[in-house]
Amino acid sequence: MEKILREKLVNGQFSNVPALRSKMMRAIKGANTKSTEQKFQKALIDAGITYFQVNAKLIGNPDIFFPFYHVVVFLDGCFWHGCPKCGHVPKSNTSYWRTKIERNKERDIQKRLILHEQGYEIVEYWEHELKEDLSRCVKLLANIIEDNLIRISSYAV
């Protein structure tokens, strides 16, 4: 069964599924699993904060980018990024997961340091912070954006 499946999968996609159907399947999956990231984006828009970009081509792939304000936002999944509060290492393949998560954490630090050196203000949220109090996270970000506008405009003076 698995072998047959693999033969039909070209680049991880079913090659024999018409494009439209494939698109519909993705839409159905997406409708029920609104990610923390999408919820945060919606909360920003609801708060009148609309001037951001997603999928910006910056080092470290920040989740949200405010080009005019030089602010980048990372929404870090507690498991993959090793949250000290609720991140955990699975009981099986422990050393594999520990190494993988540690590597992710190192990579996060390195890439965010580069962004910092490039003059970006970096805002990081843990997944659990967004789930616990989304509006607090939005308010905090609104303040940071405002402060950073003052910071970057003081360069010009």
Residues that bind Zn ion (CB under 5 A): 78, 83, 85-86, 126, 128
Q: Is 120 exposed, middle or buried (0-12, 13-18, 19+ CB in 10 A)?
A: buried
- Smallest separation, CB 83 to Zn ion (Å): 3
- Smallest separation, CB 104 to Zn ion (Å): 14
- Smallest separation, CB 123 to Zn ion (Å): 16
Write out the two tokens for 136. Answer: 């607090």
- Smallest separation, CB 118 to Zn ion (Å): 27
- Smallest separation, CB 80 to Zn ion (Å): 11
Q: Is 137 exposed, middle or buried (0-12, 13-18, 19+ CB in 10 A)?
A: buried
Q: What is the full DSSP assignment across 25-77?
A: HHHHHHHH---HHHHHHHHHHHTT----BSS---TT--SEEEGGGTEEEEEE-
Nearer to Zn ion, 6 or 85 (CB): 85
Q: What is the DSSP letter of 91?
A: S
Task: Give the span between the Cα atoms of 20 and 8, in whole angstroms.
Answer: 18
Nearer to Zn ion, 66 or 129 (CB): 129
Nearer to Zn ion, 120 or 126 (CB): 126
Nearer to Zn ion, 100 or 128 (CB): 128
Place of tokens 């304000």: 69
Nearer to Zn ion, 56 or 105 (CB): 105
